Structure 1
Amino acid sequence: MTIRTLTRRAALAAVAVTGALVLAACGGDDGASGGHTGHGPSAAASASATASGSADPRASATAHNAQDVSFAQGMIPHHRQALEMAKLADGRASSARVKDLASRIEKAQDPEIRTMTGWLTSWGEQVPMAGMDHSGHSGMSGMMSEADMTALEKATGKDFDTRFLSMMVDHHEGAVEMATTEKEKGQYGPARTMADAIVTAQNAEIEEMRRLLGTE
């Protein structure tokens, strides 16, 4: 009886020890699996990157800098003057090719004004006022003075054609200069894309106008 009792007690003790080991192992597994649900080092690093903005593609897509603001605030009045010049061609130009060019300038630049106005509004920046006299922007590259615009308004026929083309070449060269600066220093993707389009389109129009003037 004594031997059986000792053997039975030893067996019960072994079962208890085995159970304890199994429970400990299960507890360890729970902790390990918990580390894969977002609390491990990789998850923490990911959260940190998201918080800093580096892992969020929307942050880089909408980021802009002072150059982007300057580009939009400068190009809006620049485009407005080009539209003003282009609209004069309809009743004053004698050349059908000059009238066609003026029409294309209107169609290209008017939508760009609306787009840039939307950027500035979304950024909380001031949109240049329409209707200001040309003296307010006389220091801007390629902008015509009040006297230049008055002379163009008074011109007709071939005189208008020559004045318009000469002035628009200078105007376009100023826009290309502004757009090139935006391409080099801007941060906002859509603004840099527009700047690239302006450089391409207006350089092509400069060549066209020089051919019409007979200077190329």
Structure 2
Amino acid sequence: MPVFRLPDEHIFPPPRLAEDNGLLAVGGDLSEPRLLLAYSMGIFPWYAEGDPILWWSPDPRLVLSPDELRISRSLKQTINKNLFTITLDTAFEEVIVNCAVIHRTHAGSTWITDDMMEAYIGLHRAGYAHSAEAWSGKKLAGGLYGVSLGAAFFGESMFTKISNASKVTFISLVHQLVQWNFTLIDCQMTTPHLLHLGAREIPRIQFLEMLKSALLKPSKKGKWMFENP
């Protein structure tokens, strides 16, 4: 399949036209309208520093149904120790910066470029991007961020400074998403720890059907806070 070069107009080719590795298109921008359109079509940006913007729609796709979350016995024991205070949308910019730093430190580069950070901070201010944070005292121990549309949450990245901090954060977020009747968490790329938490790979066509259904529900915009069951 050819890789499509995007015009200035906010359009994307159908995800089914992506290459075998999931690459669909190149170019365009990271404006709010284009990003929201991309996520609504099951497409996301991912590229290295110095490269043009690349847009992906992998097949298969790693997803987690919030009500299928699995928590190991050892992780339950960690949660029960109450080592962390978990918050939502309290330190979005600090979370995304830490995600970029951690990936750059371990991999030598990061897809969370300055332009990406600026774009997602913009989505956060518009009420579409959200963060979850784990605190050890007053210090940020871990966190994650992603985008929310309808009843779908698209996980972007996470980091941890203290063992299990990001896992506890993710589990706390998933429990809240269940309470809010979210039906889909898009994990994008397959990782062992997400598989252990209950995520599974599904064909892209099935993912797009799940996404279509999730987008029928209204988006939960604005600042998120934990709510009592």
Q: TM-score, normalised by structure 1?
A: 0.23
Higher helix share: 1
Higher strand share: 2
Highest Rg: 1 or 2?
A: 1
Q: TM-score, normalised by structure 2?
A: 0.22
